[in-house]
Structure 1
Amino acid sequence: MATLSAIFLAVIATSHDAGRPAHEAVMINLRAVDVNHASLQRDVLRARAGLLMSYDPLVESVIALRKTAATLENLFASSDFGSDGRLEKLLSQLKSGIDADEALVEDFKTRNALLQNSVGVFGQTLTDLHQSSNETVRSALDNVGDLGNLMMRFSTRPDPELEKAIGKRLQRLSQSVAVSPAARQIQTLTTHAKMILAILPTVDEKVASVLASRTPKSAELLQSQYLDAAGQANSRAAASRILLGATAIALCIYVFVLVYRLRNQTERLKRRLHYEQAIAGIKAEMFNTSPRDFPEFMDRALRVLTCLFEGSCSGFAILNIDTGEMKNVHRHGGETEDYRTLLIDFAHDSRRHWDASPSGCEDSFAYVNLTKTNDLTYTRDATISGLIIGSKMPDRQVAAFLLLFDSPRPKLGADEVGLLRASLQTLTEFVETNRREQEQEALEHRLEHAQRLEAIGTLAGGIAHEFNNVLGAILGYGEMALQLLRRPSMTRHYVQEILTSGERAKHIVDQILTFSRKRERAMKPFSVTEAVADILPLLHVTLGNKVTLTAHLCEKDTVIVGSPIEVHQMVMNLCKNAMEASARGQDVRVEVTPVEIGRKRVLSHGEISPGDYVRLSVEDQGPGIPEHVLPHVFEPFYTTKSTSGGTGLGLSAVHGSVCGFGGAIHVQSSAGSGTRFDLFFPARRLAPLPLKSFFDERAVPTGKGESVAILESDRSLLEMYEEKVAALGYEPIGYSSMAALQRAMDSGSVSADLTIVDANALGPDLPLEDLDLVLPKGRYLLLIACERELERGDPLMLASILKKPFSSRALAHAIFDRISVTS
């Protein structure tokens, strides 16, 4: 449309003026008026002089004048001047003048015909009289003198004196020949002479009127007015043509710009299509790439992008804008140190850029052009030797794409920069996809690992429960034997060693139960900093002088819910392992700090959700954990120190305790660079309890002969419980089954102040939640090996629970507390 409009306007602007033929016709007719009127005047003069044979030329001139006037009227009516009142008025005047000229011509023709006839007759008669032989006539003619000359002078220039002179001579001539035979001719001469004298002034007057006609003046005025109007119209037409020409030129320029833009758009679309095809191919390849082949895939992707942007080499990395730390580094061509230097500088520039940006209006992209130091100064603003584009990521990180060129080239346009942004986003998606795949593989591996641990934990828990019964009897009888052997002797020493080994066995059982998560937990708020500070003196003694123990403990916001005793055990196990892995004189660092996790993170052993945590870290400078060992460090019974007495339960117990807290573990280790254990515990906004509230140091209470019934299906344990209860000052009554206890209670032969019930002796027919239906409510002590999930919480809330195996001190406090409550 724009092209057609430009052509149409150009044709109109450059074509012949549509009003010029009319203008030329008007000018021709105006000049024809002058020409025709001049012809009329000429013919009138010729007719006056008697040189015109007929009056047809006069008629033709008048007709031509009328025709010209009519033509002008038609031309004015058909042109833009038809509405011009001044031209219309002047044209009317011209027509009126032509009408007056026509009337004068008609009157002139009539009178001039008479005049010319009289002049002819007069001349012929006068000639005939001069040729007459009559002496009278000759004498009369001689008497009147030069009558012919006077008449010729009068006809040339009429004059009253001449007219009188001619009249006198005519009178004398008539009187002289009154009786002559030529009297008739004289009469004819006199008559026509008088007619000439009478008509000639009138004819000359008519001729003068024709010669003085206003028609030429009217035509001149009309022509002048028309030329003024035509000049104004031509000026307007010229302005219109200029406007049309300018519009046509503007449309041509617009068409050129459109064509140029369409061409550029076509090139951009072709380049975009090429880019999309290349990216689609890369993405398709990404779906078939395993995490282990990801570096080779990134090299191919960077090679494709380098070719697309006509670069020489490229690179991609994720950087921390505060520290400059780089990860997920991939490159194609170039030197590693060059990449590192350029990307670290870009990270610092990005930090200044985003920190200086107003809040809420930050651009997620940063773009930097690179120039070489040997580039000419005046070309640095126009050419670049490379570029870096970055995209902001969470946790103060930036994904950066680096592209370098062999030789300086012009700066990239907005379209190229847009493609670079899309490329950066694509590479970031590749890295994120690979990270998610790695996390998925790690999670699958950990799930498999957790299932194995769960199976092992279930087996270990079952074994520990059975071993608890045996261990309870050993420790119980050992304590009683030690009470009987008060004097120092070899027997007492042997019994003491038995109890010591039993305590070690109890510690191993506790670790197994902790690993299997079947251990009863005290859930109270406490400060991790206070708990670690409490165990530090013992750590200094335990670690000795082999290593240097340094602690960095934060004083605020380190409250968690649980038991500080478990934190003691975790710190003790980790520090002991660190000491064994360190050479003499190396440092072991213990650190407690609050941390905030902004997004879900995958750790070396598990994953951690966003939130506030307390991080307990133990770091050594030892040789590190081999890569093939790291995935198995928390497996129970897995140890690299089997020859030196390692049980493989220390780190398993740490893992179980951390999971019991709802936390997570991250281990960082590599050969020759030491090992760091980070334990994350969910932080709580609670007031911490003092550590002393977790430890009961009361004196051992004794009874006053109260009756205590004991239900235990294991005969050896039943006898041991009876002896322990009796030693504490109570009267024990033992039963090996629930049926025997119920019969004794129903017969009234037993009135126990407290009943001690082993949960294993109840059997499947009597669930724990129905225990209140058989025994007096609140007057029993329940012995369990671990906490159990119950449908109802009332029995556990009303009954005191004692975990097996237990010491005589723990049993004494439990019996005393329950009897005190029920009484």
Structure 2
Amino acid sequence: IEAALKGQRSKYYGLYEATTTDAKIWSSTTLAPMYNKDGEIIGGIGIVEDISEMKKYEWALEESRAHLEAVLESASGYGILTTDPNLEITYFNKEAERIFGNSSALAKGESLEKLTGGFGNLKEHFLTARESVENKKVYDFTIEKEGNGKPHYFSCRISGITNNEGELLGYVLFAEDITERLEIEKERRELQEQLFHAQKMEAIGRLSGGVAHDFNNLLTGIIGLTELAIETVDKGSDSYSILKQILSGARRGSRLTKQLLNLSRKRVVRPHTIDLAKIVRDMEGMLRSVISENIEFDVEAPEEAIYIQADPSQIEQVIMNVVLNARDAMPGGGKIKVCVTDSASVHFHPQGREGRADDNRACLVVADTGCGMDEKILGKIFDPFYTTKPPGKGTGLGLSTVYGIVKQIGGSIEVESEPGKGSKFYIYFPRVLEPVEIEKRERPPLYEKPELPQAITILVVEDEIAILDIMSFVLKREGYRVYTAQSAEEATKILNEQNIKVDLLIADLIMPGMSGTELAEKLKEDFPDMQIIYTSGYTEDILVQKDLLEWDAVFLEKPFSTEVLLRFCSRVLKKRGKN
């Protein structure tokens, strides 16, 4: 009132209690001076307005705003910001503070470009989003930001803020950090690839087991007949040369079968403690013989023993296959280096890992200066039958076999390669640290016919007629009395019709009808001193897994040569003679 009487307008709000109804009323009071015709203040005039309803709406709006902000602030994992049409920030929640690295207090009123510079082209995304917003659509995109030395990825969505008339009032951005999700998806994909690889290897294993059985039967016949034919021709003749080539091809086929079985982890292995460094040193001469003269070859293997637990023949195969792979990568010449060390002394590991002093592994490194490989090839080099060599130059099983052997031992393989910069294979084996006595391998003795007091009767049971004929011919030539049958039932019939005492049974394990073990059990009742040799085109561990063979049984795996057959017979018959 005083201000109005002084010629000033004033306005204030107040809460009043009505005298008639005791109701509390919010009012807005406006006071202004009142003038006469001469312009003199003669009083004041006041206008009082009941604004209680308006106050209720204001409180409801404030409550709604507070509720909305609470919801937005509690939106865990989602950064939310709003802007006006000119891209000045009007709201910034706590998650947005973490993502963009700015406080809400500093952000409000600032330009989007100033506060989100680390996100590169975020402003361009907003400008692109205008067309979508005008069509009442959302705009989705993914953006990358560097943080803590590694990239972080954010899934973003921009939508428009409009009034009832459709007028654009601003934009709202939702940003979600999806870095961890992408890492999990990557791990899941890698696990799926590993599972697929394991399933593929299992399928190859089942296939190779069946193929090996039939193939080994064929090879046994080819090897045996060829060896017999070689004995009938002069060494200097063309026939002798041709037969030797046939025998060499059959033996290569045998090695290929063994590669298939190693690949599928179906080969019998007899691991023991061996010195990896010594094996590499001993192989140096043989490795040099298979490498072209235009390739420089170097071996570094310490005199100090580096012990691992493995089958020596498998380790030799790993070394040979990787070195041959390096040789084939350098048709124009180059350099191969084979190095044996402990993994802690390997300062650089692929994938950026540093060697650790407590990393108790032996490491075999094979490096070459060949053509190298790109990432696409690197991802397939251990796949069965994958090869980049011309037709007829490779089977695609060399590195697959290496992979299977190393995994079977409990080791790992890492490869570093770039096109034009050569390749390095890092092959790790669990190391044996305690002093041990190295098991020495002795060359099996040549065949010597046992001196036994009486003639020996051998019963040969084999469903493959070619193999049966070969075994019968070879054994009869050595002076054994031999009876043959193509099935267990036929063998039983022969024994029932003739008065025969069997000293040695040679039986195929898997035949139509009665198996070799079932036949042996039956004959043991009548011939308790009978010795037994089982044969099969399947491998020993498959037969054991199928309960078709005991580990202590004498097992002759196909394909075998005539000399090996006679050596096995000599061994078991000498045992019988001692008994």
Q: Is this a same-fold pair by TM over 0.5?
A: yes
- The residue number in structure 2 matching 1:576 is 324
CA distance in 2, matches of 1:333, 1:799: 71
Which of 441, 456, 480 is the aligned partner of 1:694?
A: 441
After superposition, residues 273-284 of structure 1 pair within 5 angstroms as 280-281=77-78
Partner of 2:112: none
For residue 524 of structure 1, report the CA deviation from its aligned partner: 2.1
2:534 corresponds, among 782, 785, 788, to 782
After superposition, the CA RMSD in angstroms is: 4.0
What's the secondary structure of 1:549's corresponding residue? strand
Kindly state the Cα deviation for residue 617 of structure 1 after the two structures are TM-superposed: 2.1
Work out the CA distance in 2 between the residues paired with 1:695 and 1:656.
26
Aligned with 2:208: secondary structure?
helix
Letter in structure 2 aligned against 1:535: M
- Determine if contact 2:488/2:515 at 8 Å carries over to the other structure: no
Report the equivalent of 1:450. 198
Query: How far is 1:694 from its partner?
Result: 2.8
- Structure-1 residue corresponding to 2:295: 547
Q: 1:530 aligns with which of 278, 295, 303?
A: 278
Matched, 1:716 2:470: no
2:261 pairs with 1:513: yes
1:799 matches 2:564: no
- Is 1:742 the counterpart of 2:492? The answer is yes
Using the TM superposition, give the Cα deviation of residue 672 of structure 1 relative to its aligned residue in structure 2, in angstroms: 2.9
Identity %: 26
Q: Against the structure 1 CA distance between its residues 806 and 583, is the aligned structure 2 distance closer, same or farther, given a 3 Å change threshold? A: closer
- SS, match of residue 376 in structure 2: coil
Cα deviation for residue 522 of structure 1 reads 2.2
User: Is 1:815 aligned with 2:558?
Assistant: no
Deviation of 1:438 (Å):
2.4
Q: What CA distance in whole angstroms lies between the structure 2 residues aligned with 1:626 and 1:758? A: 48
CA contact (8 A) 1:473 1:720 kept: yes
Report the structure number with the largest CA radius of gyration. Answer: 1
The verdict on how the C-alpha distance between 1:658 and 1:731 changes in structure 2, with shifts beyond 3 A counting, is farther
Partner of 2:365: 617
Question: What CA distance in whole angstroms lies between the structure 2 residues aligned with 1:808 and 1:308?
Answer: 87
1:643 aligns to what SS in structure 2? coil
Structure 1 residues 508 and 278: alpha-carbon distance in aligned structure 2, compared to 1, 3 A threshold:
same
Whole-angstrom CA distance in 1 between matches of 2:290 and 2:309: 27
1:495 corresponds to which residue?
243
Q: Which residue of 2 aligns with 1:316?
A: none
> How far off is 1:803 after superposition?
1.0
CA distance in 1, matches of 2:492, 2:201: 42
With a CA cutoff of 8 Å and minimum separation of 6, indicate the structure with the bigger relative contact order. 2
Where 1:725 maps in the other structure, the secondary structure is helix
Q: Partner amino acid for 2:426?
A: D
- Kept in 2, the 8 Å contact 1:778–1:799? The answer is no
Q: Is the 8 A contact 2:517 2:549 kept in 1?
A: yes
Q: 1:494 to 1:586 in 2, by over 3 A?
A: closer
1:249 is matched with none
| Alignment-mate amino acid for residue 521 of structure 2 | D
Distance 1:623 1:275 in 2: 57
- TM-superposed deviation, 1:786: 0.3
Q: Is the 8 A contact 1:772 1:795 kept in 2?
A: no
- TM-score norm. by structure 1 comes to 0.46
Aligned 8 A contact 2:299 2:339 in 1: yes
Change (3 A) 1:622 1:791: closer
Where does 1:291-302 land on structure 2 (aligned, <5 Å)? none
Q: How does 1:317-466 map to 2 (within 5 A)?
A: 332=118, 434-466=182-214
Shift of 1:574: 0.8
Which amino acid letter does the alignment assign opposite residue 318 of structure 2? M
SS in 2 for 1:570: helix
- Indicate if the aligned counterparts of 2:263 and 2:404 stay in contact, CA closer than 8 A: yes
- 8 Å Cα contact 1:516-1:656 kept in structure 2: yes
Counterpart of 2:78, as a letter, is: G
Deviations 1:411-463 (A, max 9, x none): xxxxxxxxxxxxxxxx9x98776555423311211211221232233223322
Residues 304-330 of structure 1, C-alpha deviations (whole Å, 9 max, x = no match): 34445999xxxxxxxxxxxxxxxxxxx
SS state at 2:550 partner: helix
Aligned residues: 418
Residue 536 of structure 1: CA displacement? Answer: 1.1
Cα separation, partners in 2 of 1:716 and 1:793, compared to 1, 3 Å: closer
Against the structure 1 CA distance between its residues 556 and 456, is the aligned structure 2 distance closer, same or farther, given a 3 Å change threshold?
Answer: same
C-alpha deviation, 1:789, in angstroms = 5.3
Q: In the alignment, does 2:484 pair up with 1:730?
A: no
Residue 343 of structure 2 aligns to a residue whose secondary structure is strand
Contact between 1:520 and 1:786, CA under 8 Å: does it hold in 2? yes
SS at match of 2:78: helix
Is 1:668–1:676's contact at 8 Å kept on the other side of the alignment? yes
Structure 1 residues 769 and 574: alpha-carbon distance in aligned structure 2, compared to 1, 3 A threshold: farther
> 1:653 maps to what in 2?
401
Structure 2 residue runs without a partner (length 5+): 1-69, 81-94, 108-116, 121-146, 152-175, 353-357
From the two aligned structures, give the one with the greater strand fraction.
2
Return the offset for 1:804.
0.7
SS in 2 for 1:760: coil
Render the CA deviation track for 1:564-600: whole Å, top value 9, x for unaligned. Answer: 1221121111111112213655332212223379xxx
1:304 is aligned to 2:52: no
Q: Distance in 1 between matches of 2:333 and 2:215?
A: 41
1:639–1:648 contact (8 Å) kept in structure 2: yes
Take 1:516 and 1:502, find their aligned partners in 2: how far apart are those partners?
A: 21
Change (3 A) 1:686 1:519: farther
For residue 722 of structure 1, report the CA deviation from its aligned partner: 1.0
User: Helix, strand or coil for the counterpart of 1:642?
Assistant: coil
Q: What is the distance in 2 between the residues matched to 1:432 and 1:550?
A: 46
TM-score (norm 2): 0.63
Secondary structure at the residue paired with 1:632? coil
Which whole-Å CA distance do the structure 1 matches of 2:438 and 2:296 have between them?
28
Pairs within 5 Å for 1:594-673: 594-595=342-343, 612-643=360-391, 645-673=393-421
Q: Which residue of 2 is the match for residue 110 of structure 1? A: none
- Alignment check: 8 A CA contact 1:769 1:792 kept: no
- Contact preservation (8 Å) 2:509, 2:516: no
Amino acid at match of 1:699: L
Residues 279 and 760 from structure 1, CA distance in 2 versus in 1: closer, same or farther, beyond 3 angstroms? same
* Partners of 1:786 and 1:803 within 8 A in 2: yes
Q: Secondary structure at the match of 2:99?
A: helix
1:701 corresponds to which letter in structure 2?
Answer: E
By how many angstroms is 1:673 displaced?
A: 2.9
